[in-house]
Structure formats: structure tokens, C-alpha cells
Amino acid sequence: MFSRTEINQLSDQYNITIKWYPWNKSTMKVSPFYSSTTAPAATVTLQTKLTIVGTIVIVIAICAAVVIPVVIIVVKNSGEVTTGTTTTTTATTATTTTTTTTTATTTTTTTTTITTTTTTTATTTTTTATTTTTTTTATTATCNSTFLTQITYATGSAPRSIAVVDVNNDNKSDIIVGNDVSNSVSVLLNNGNGTFLTQTTYAAGTYPYSVAVVDVNSDNKPDIIVANDGSHTVSVLLNSGSGTFLTQTTYATGNNPISVAVVDVNSDNKPDIIVANYVSNTVGILLNSGSGTFLTQTAYPVGSYPRSVAVVDVNSDSKPDIIVANYGSNTVCVLLNNGNGTFLTQTTYATGSGPNSVAVIDVNNDNNPDIIVVNEGPNNVGVLLNSGSGTFLTQTTYATGTYPYSVAVVDVNNDNKLDIIVANVNSNTVSVLLKC
């Protein structure tokens, strides 16, 4: 039981305004309110107190002096509230979040209802509080995920390998292509607007199968290195500085070099040449002498028909290691670097049949590079996770198209997770495997 004086004390204590609404049974309406000073002096019996939203509290009371229900609305003094004119008093708060959209809009509405019923003498008052939240979700289509119709540029016959590097120091990426049948490399300089000049061709060895573009003589000008399958050599074409190249210098390799990488493997800040010799079943290392010339290769045995080579530090010792996909033995092998440009005997790991191409990159964000290999026979891609010490777990495979031949690993959907892209020769498709 609270007297009027006690209720007024609550008003002063909590900085609130109390409004009294006597119920008129004959008109079935709430009468104009009393102020807290003109309300009935008799004591009241509190029957219900319900917090609705924000700062509003509704109290249903019985005034003993006049034996009628009285609706008391308590409002924090920062705001003002008016009542309805029926026996149901409803307070509703709606919150709307809107995002600008350029294509399609999806609206989701969630409604929560709380109902409290209070019964007094011969009178029932129902108070319902409803809060509705409307969320607008925008779906925006952008042209970033689409491409214009292709523009084609002539090359030599049977372009087999491509690199895209700025070779004339104009901050525009140029195209370099190895032409397998023409026995040449093509250089297409960038105009600067996404178009390219007509190719300039340079002689290479027989069947130039794989191309890399790296500055090998420390003049800050990218040079061209080509693995020549038919002539069992690598060619080095030094950059003259204007995007033109000198006549090739060739170096002997094993039989049928079909994959080349150019990486400093002996920590002298001079990029060295690493080739996979397909028929010799070896990987060859040609150390850089320091002026863009190279020493005689040192060969290391690998599996049969090594088809693809990558050079990455897989055991966190800051020394690049060699990883090879062996097409004939259905394995990948890892040759750990001793630190002086020599390598340990290979360690092999099973793959599917016919591994064609290998990439080495950390796909599970543990800072340990993993092996990704495409397997021609079972039409899948295998992922061999790095255990953390330069050894690898058994592969996990994922289906691709038929005759998967080449693999790249790049984040294609901007979620900071590396995805796998595979070129499938026989199904004429590209497979994209998004990292979940």
C-alpha cells in the first residue's frame, strides 16, 4: 500500500513525473489526468507494474477512496507520454536500419509481443508491449566480378608459357610468352590503357616450354629465362633497359627441361636457376656467378618424369627448398636446402596418378607452406598440409574437371582465404575451389 505522499516521494527521488488517469466506467475511457498533487488523497493498492520500453513504466492501481481503477503512468522527466483512449494501452518502438542498395533489397521483420493482463474489481485492463525491428539488407551488384569480351594479340606458334612483368620500367605490366613451336619468346609491351603493342620476338632454344622473368644480373631490369625442352638447355636473355633484350645465352641442363624457377638458393642475393629435367628424372641447379652468367648445373635425383618445380622454404629455416611433381611415379618430392645451395636427398609423398602441376603456399594460415598438386588420372587436386617441420601429411583430394593440368592458388573472393583454381584440359573448364 502506498499513500499519495509516498508516491510523490518516489517522484522526487527518481526524477520522474507521475500522471493519474481515473477510469470512467460509463464512457469506457480514461479521464483527463490528475497531477500528482491533485490525485485522490486516499491510499492506493498497487496491482501491477510493467516496464514497457525505454523510460516508461505503467502502473495499474486501485484507488480505495473512490473504488475505481486508476491508471498511473510514470515518465522519466526527459520526455512526455500521452495515453490511448481505450482499455488497451500500447507502447511501440520501431527501429529501422536502412542500407542504400543498387539492385535488390531484402527486408526481414521480427516482432516480439509481451502481453500482461491485470484484473481489478469488475474491470479488466490489458497492456501489450510490442517491439518491432526492421532490418534492410542490401545486395549490390558490381562489375568487379565480370569481364569484358577478350581482346586477342598475335604471338608465335603454340604459346606454351606466360609471365606478366614490367620489363621497361614504366610501371605497366608487360606480357612475355614462350612459343613452343616457333622456338621464340614474344614480348608485348603495355600501352598503359590495358592494350598491348604488337609482339617483338626473340630467338630461344628448341621447344621453349617454360618461361620466367627475373632480374638475374642486379641491374634492376627483369631478364628472361627459358627452359628449352627440345634442345636440353636454358636460355638467358638479358634486358637492355628499354624493354628490349640481348641475344640469348644458353646453358646445358638435363634431358627435356620443362619447368623452370629462378630463386636465390644459396643466400648470396643472386637468383639461381632451377629446372625439372623430365626425361633425366633429375632437378638441375645452376648457381648464379654474380654477373648474370651461370655455373654448370648440379643435378639431384627425383621421381620419374618430373613435370613441375616450385622453390619455397617449407621448414622455416629461411632457406628455399625444392618441391617437384613427379608425373611418372605419382609422387611429389621435397629436397630440403642445406643452406649453401646444396640439397638433401628427396623425401617423397604419394599423390594421385599423373601429378601435372604443383604449387606451394600456406592454405590453412599456420605460417607453414602446404603442397597443392593436380592429379591427372583421378581428376582431382590434392592438398598436403605441412606438419610444421617440412614434412607433410597424407593428401586430401577434391574433385576437378577432367585432365587437370595446371593449378594456381589465390584469394579470389576477398575473404582472406586462399582458393584453388585448376585448368582442366579435356573438359575445357576451369575449376574454382573456394576455401571455407
Q: Report how far residue 145's alpha carbon sits from residue 128's, in angstroms, rounded to the nearest whole number.
A: 49
CATH topology of domain 220-433: Methylamine Dehydrogenase; Chain H (2.130.10)
pLDDT for residue 188: 97
Q: Are 44 and 36 in contact (CB under 8 A)?
A: no
What average pLDDT does this structure show over 189-203?
95
Kindly indicate the confidence band of residue 14, based on its pLDDT and cuts at 50, 70 and 90: low
pLDDT for residue 93: 40
- The grid coordinates listed for 152 are 586477342
Q: Report how far residue 68's alpha carbon sits from residue 61's, in angstroms, rounded to the nearest whole number.
A: 9
3-class DSSP assignment, residue 146: coil
pLDDT for residue 241: 87
CA distances from 55 to 7, 91, 114, 352 (A): 17, 11, 17, 68
Element (H, E) at 8: helix 4-14
Decide which of 63 and 422 is more confident: 422
How far does CA 127 lie from the centroid of its chain?
50
Place of cell 588420372: 377
Q: Are 260 and 229 in contact (CB under 8 A)?
A: no
Place of cell 489526468: 33
Q: Which residues contact 192 (CB under 8 A, 6 or more apart)?
A: 170, 172
Q: Which residues contact 80 (CB under 8 A, 6 or more apart)?
A: none
Other C-beta atoms closer than 10 Å to the C-beta of 52 total 22
Q: Report how far residue 188's alpha carbon sits from residue 200's, in angstroms, rounded to the nearest whole number.
A: 7
pLDDT for residue 7: 58
pLDDT above 70 coverage of the chain, percent? 67
3-class DSSP assignment, residue 143: helix
Q: Buried b / exposed e across 97-130, counting CB within 10 Å, b at 16+? A: eeeeeeeeeeeeeeeeeeeeebebeeeebebbbb
125-166 residue pLDDT tens: 444 444 444 343 333 444 455 788 999 999 999 999 999 999
Kindly indicate the confidence band of residue 22, based on its pLDDT and cuts at 50, 70 and 90: low
pLDDT for residue 227: 99
The full set of domain ranges for the chain reads 4-139, 220-433
Alpha helices in 320-409 (DSSP H): none
pLDDT above 90 coverage of the chain, percent? 63
Decide which of 92 and 249 is more confident: 249
Phi then psi for 338, rounded to 5 degrees? -75, -20
Tell if the pTM clears 0.85, that is, is over it: no
Predicted confidence (pLDDT) at residue 203 exceeds the cutoff of 50: yes
- Give the mean pLDDT of the chain: 80
What average pLDDT does this structure show over 236-252?
97
Alpha helices in 68-207 (DSSP H): none
359-403 residue pLDDT tens: 999 999 999 999 999 999 999 999 999 999 899 999 999 999 999
